[in-house]
């Protein structure tokens, strides 16, 4: 699963200087295409709803499915997302398009990082590519 949090559905039009010009549809296609090349069946999802993201994380844990997670704004304050990530039963990699530590101070802390298997940030869509490679490598 590739799970995306709030505002990521607006990629391409949302602050392209920070998040790049790739649209959300482009991100989905990129993840699916690379997934096929790596032998992964990639399911890409996006929600602006914290509860939905938690439900998807529970689904992944129950099914022992690896996850690439961009929690977006939930990164910094959602203990519900953090606690759902802590229940993971397979690899989970936190990703960010931008580099949070080079941005506003409130973005410098992730409540998710401590319970994720790893974090990749600041490489745009490349963050997702690296995470999928890591998942495929086991």
Marked catalytic residue, from 19, 58, 108, 109? 19
Structure tokens at 14: 């949302």
Question: pLDDT at position 39, please?
Answer: 97
Binding site as annotated, residues for substrate: 70, 76, 83, 97-98, 107
Extents of the domains making up the chain: 2-137
CATH number corresponding to 2-137: 3.40.50.9100
Q: What share of the chain has pLDDT > 70, as a percent?
A: 99
pTM more than 0.75: yes
* Residue matched to tokens 């992944």: 60
Structure tokens at 4: 């995306």
Marked catalytic residue, from 96, 101, 128, 133? 96
| Residues 78-105 pLDDT 10s | 999 999 999 999 999 999 998 877 677 7
Q: Give yes or no: 101 in active site.
A: no
């Amino acid at each position: 699963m590739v799970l995306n949090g709030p505002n990521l559905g607006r990629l391409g039009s949302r602050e392209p200087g920070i998040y790049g010009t790739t649209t959300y549809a482009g991100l989905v296609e990129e993840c699916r295409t690379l997934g096929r090349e790596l032998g992964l069946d990639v399911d890409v999802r996006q929600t602006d709803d914290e509860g939905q993201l938690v439900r998807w994380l529970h689904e992944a844990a129950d099914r022992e499915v690896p996850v690439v997670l961009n929690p977006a704004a939930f990164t910094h304050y959602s203990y519900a997302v953090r606690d759902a990530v802590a229940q993971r039963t397979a690899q989970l990699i936190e990703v960010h398009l931008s580099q949070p530590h080079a941005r506003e101070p409130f973005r410098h802390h992730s409540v998710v990082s401590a319970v994720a298997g790893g974090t990749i940030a600041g490489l745009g869509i490349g963050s997702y590519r690296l995470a999928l490679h890591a998942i495929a490598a086991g």
